[in-house]
Amino acid sequence: MENNNREQWSHDFLLNKLEQAKVHFERAIDSKHTEFDDLYPYMIEHPQFFWYKRYVAWSELLTIVKLCEELGIPWAEKFTAHQAEYINKRVMSSKVLDYWYEMNDTKEHVG
């Protein structure tokens, strides 16, 4: 495989993983089903664990962003400006959870 093809494949692969991590995090914010629920089905019966589901999804998102940064792949354009700011701060606070969709009046959440 030529170097340029390998680089493009890596670029596309990471951007795809970034999109998946974003959707996973947004589904966790919206308390929708994620693959985490399949791994830990008892969570459905114990809503107090939802914070952990969100933490896991946030950590996954930050990990993919870090890989993108290390490889020089622009990631911020996949997010609104305030979402990218939250990611850059790296701390998942109640503000992140409450205002992730802030700039979208219709609050279009993932399906």
Task: Establish if 12 belongs to a structural domain.
Answer: yes
CA dihedral 66, 88, 79, 77 (to 10 degrees): -70
Task: Establish if 83 belongs to a structural domain.
Answer: yes
pLDDT digits (tens, 9 = 90+) for 31-83: 888 887 777 777 667 767 778 888 999 999 999 999 999 999 999 999 999 99
Task: Establish if 105 belongs to a structural domain.
Answer: no
Residues spanned by the domain of 73: 3-99
Residues 6 or more apart whose CB falls under 8 angstroms from that of 74 comprise 68
* Residue 95, pLDDT above cutoff 80: yes
Task: Establish if 47 belongs to a structural domain.
Answer: yes
Task: Establish if 111 belongs to a structural domain.
Answer: no
What is the C-alpha separation between 81 and 86, in angstroms, rounded?
Answer: 9
Task: Establish if 109 belongs to a structural domain.
Answer: no
What is the C-alpha separation between 88 and 68, in angstroms, rounded?
Answer: 13
Task: Establish if 108 belongs to a structural domain.
Answer: no
Confidence of residue 105 (pLDDT cuts 50, 70, 90): very low
Task: Establish if 32 belongs to a structural domain.
Answer: yes
pLDDT digits (tens, 9 = 90+) for 76-90: 999 999 999 999 999
Total domains in the chain come to 1
Stronger pLDDT, 106 or 44, i.e. the higher one:
44
